[in-house]
Every structure is written in structure tokens, then in C-alpha cells.
Amino acid sequence: MILAIHTVFLARENILFLEEWIDYHMALGFNCFYLYDNSKVKRSGGCHVKKHFKVGQVNKYNINYGEIVNLSNDEIQVALQDIIEKYQGAVKLIEWSPKDSKGVVLFNQSQASRDCLKRMKDDGVEWCLNIDMDEYLTIGWGKKRSIIEYLNGLPKNVSNIHLSQMRLLNRFIDLGKLSVEQTSGRKTWPKGHSSKNFYRVNKTTHLGVHNWSGSGQQLRPDIRIICFNHYNMKGDNLKQPASINNINTEIIKELNEKSKDYIIKKSEFANSRKNDE
């Protein structure tokens, strides 16, 4: 069974976290990743347009990753290619540089989802999860459950799982540890707010960033069953932070062991920041 994840990303913003994100979802049972590299983007849109947003430097949460990731564009591309090769065909890198009538490269995440849907139907992918690289799927609130185990427990007519989110501190807050080791955040979030979709590919007819249409039943499960952690909050957003421990400790242990051999180690950037201070 081919179980895929599709995402649109900027290499500089995500290069420090890419291996952890892939390894974590592989531990859940995903075995195919479609990475749409939008690093040449010049203009974004929708919710991404904010006063502090600067393409390639500052994200919409006002994190200056361009300053933190002190690597040249060539160094980032070499590291990205090395990471892709490391996973021996499980990770597919697609340049995503759609342009407007003036030739300006756009973000256009919805169009990317539709493009990927066609690819996955041709490739025989059975299920796909559409998430960003600062989002991590969780199943069973801390239990070590696989995605196949979860899918096998669904009614046969289910074609879409509409996932709610829990928001936690930003990945850049503490580069000395894994993103999934962060436990400060909001335990509850309005159901349906910026939800993401996990869907049966051959039953899907249309995809957007947060919406889905196709044949079959759509589920909206409780976050204690399945949801995604969104590591995007700044410390000053958390007036009363909750302690969220929904990531399986065995997976965290596995990731910490693997991280010793990661091509780019986050801790090195954490140490350089401390030295600069």
C-alpha cells in the first residue's frame, strides 16, 4: 500500500527540520513523499500576506529563518539533494514555480495539490495526507499506532479524514531538541479551523488547501483519535500554555538516535545563535 504525504515548502525555511519530519512520518507508516519546492517564489497570497512577511526571509509567523539558517543557496540545495538521495526513491522532489501573467513566481498551494493529485493517481497512491512541514500527524494520543492500523479500523466507505489541529510552540524556539519534543501549546483549537485532509486518492475529485470533495464518507474525528500538531506559535501567543504530550515516547527516542546522523544538525545552528548573543 502506497501511503503518501504531499507538501509545498521553501527549502531555506525547512531544511533544518526536513529529515526529522520525514523520519517521524515514516515511523507512522508513510512510505512516499511528494515535496513541491517553491523556493523561487516571489509573491504569495491569501493568509500569507502580512506586514512582517518577507519571501525567503521572514515567515508569516514573524520568524526570521533567513537569519537563523546561515547557509548559502547553493549549500541548501546540495543538502536538499543529499537528503532526497538518502531516502532512496521514497522522497520525490518537484520544483514548483507557477507564474502569473507577468512571469512572477507564485506560491499557489491549491494548484500544487491538484497537480499532485494527478501524479498520485498515475503512481497508484492509495491514501495521501496534505500537510505543511511544520505539521506532524498524531494518532491515538501518545500510543504507538501505525497509519495502516488506523486505516484498517475505518469503515470501507470512508474516503476522507478532515483533521483538526493542536498548536504548539514554533520549531525555531528551541533548535537544541526535536520539534516533536515541544509540549507547550494550546490543547484545544476550534474544530474545523484550518483543517487538513487525509484522503483516498482514487475517490478524490477536488482538493484545496483546507477543503476536499469526492465520493465516499468524510470523517471529522476527535483530536484524541487523530489530528495534527502545528508547531507555529510564538511564546508571547501563549498566555496560559497547556502541556501537550501526544507524541509517542518510543518514536521520540528513535528520532533522537537518528538525528545524530542527520545531514544538517539543528543543534549546530542553536549553538551559533548563542555564540552571536
Q: Which three cell numbers stand for residue 86?
A: 538518502
What does DSSP say about strands 32-37 and 91-95: parallel, antiparallel, or unpaired? parallel
Domains of the chain, with CATH numbers?
Answer: 3-276 (3.90.550)
Question: Residue 10's pLDDT band (boundaries 50, 70, 90)?
Answer: very high
Q: Which of 31-40, 70-79, 98-107, 144-153 has the lowest mean pLDDT?
A: 98-107
Question: Residues with Cβ < 8 Å from 23, sequence gap 6 or more?
Answer: 254, 255, 258
* Distance in angstroms (rounded) separating the CA atoms of residues 29 and 130: 15
Strand order of the sheet with strand 242-243?
135-139, 226-233, 165-169, 184-186, 242-243
Which residue from 111, 110, 139 is spatially nearest to 30, judged by alpha carbons?
139
- Axis-axis angle for helices 73-86, 18-28 (nearest 10): 20
Least confident of 9-13, 118-122, 265-269: 265-269
Give me the mean pLDDT over the 16-35 stretch.
98
- The pLDDT of residue 188 is 66
Q: Which three cell numbers stand for residue 263?
A: 545531514
Give burial (CB, 10 Å; 0-12/13-18/19+) of 39. buried
How high is the pLDDT of residue 228? Answer: 95
More confident position, 103 or 249: 249
116, 192 contact by CB (below 8 A): no
What's the pLDDT at 275? 45
Helix (H, G, I), strand (E, B) or coil at 95: strand
Q: Is the pLDDT of residue 277 over 50?
A: no
Q: How far apart are CA 73 and CA 56, in angstroms?
A: 11
Q: What is the pLDDT of residue 45?
A: 57
How does pLDDT run across 111-138, given as a tens digit for each residue? 999 999 999 999 999 999 999 999 999 9
Contact criterion met (CB below 8 Å) for 24 and 255: yes
Of 32, 36, 28, 41, the closest CA to residue 7 belongs to 36
